[in-house]
Chain A
């Protein structure tokens, strides 16, 4: 079964750091672009970051640029999101999402994890 599963969420103080992980299974991870999408409870979906099949090209939403870093380890079938200088407004459910091709845009999002919750609070 094709699936992705997030981990690493938790409670962190403003200004703190957290690293999210996403474990992929059931497909050749290194062939696909990947994204992180977040959702504040009761609100809409917001794209956070994406990278292509080999990590050579990345993109970030303006709201996280300079604070978050996306990366991947194809040998471990894993995607990561390093989140630094966290703010209260980063509190959300973070989804790991596969796209149907090698680049993080030009291909549709097709496989979603269940999400991991990040809470930034003092």
Chain B
């Protein structure tokens, strides 16, 4: 199975900050990489697929990049509603998720 390593596991940031979360795959997955946002008590919400394509309705302050084994989720100008936990997930083979990154208020 492909292992997904996400970092950091948590971070503190302020409204307006730029936030970067990284995800590394244990082997190459081309661009079969998705990012999800999850708030407490809610189901995950799809943000990005294909490593860099924004799901419909997702604000443009979210962006994704990378290919192969190294990927990045960037949130430009963090908004109050962005405080949540973020997960990467590969779907090049049987799906696997990263461990998550909790973004909280500094």
Closest residue of chain B to A96 (Cβ to Cβ) is: B43
The answer to whether A105 and B91 have CB atoms under 8 Å apart is: yes
Tell which of A67-75, A84-92, A110-118 binds the partner: A110-118
Residues of chain B lying within 8 A (CB to CB) of residue A26: none
Check A106/B92 contact, CB under 8 A, given A100-B49, A114-B43, A115-B43: yes
Count of A-B residue pairs with CB < 8 Å: 62
Provide the bound-state CA to CA distance between A114 and B36, in Å: 15
The answer to whether B91 touches A109, judged by C-beta atoms less than 8 angstroms apart, is: yes
Q: Do residues B95 and A50 form an inter-chain contact, with CB atoms below 8 A?
A: yes
Chain B interfacial residues counted at CB < 8 A: 24
Asked if A109 and B95 make an inter-chain contact with CB atoms under 8 angstroms apart, the answer reads yes
- For chain A, which range describes its interface: under 10, 10 to 19, 20 to 34, or 35 or more residues? 20 to 34
Task: Say yes or no for B32: interface residue by CB 8 A criterion.
Answer: yes
Do A105 and B94 form a contact, CB below 8 Å, given A45-B44, A112-B44, A113-B43? yes
Known contacts A105-B92, A108-B34, A108-B91; 10 further A-B pairs (Cβ under 8 A): A44-B87, A47-B89, A47-B94, A47-B95, A95-B43, A109-B34, A109-B89, A109-B95, A114-B43, A115-B43
- List the interface of chain B (C-beta within 8 A of A): 1, 32, 34, 36, 38, 43-46, 49-50, 55, 87, 89, 91-100
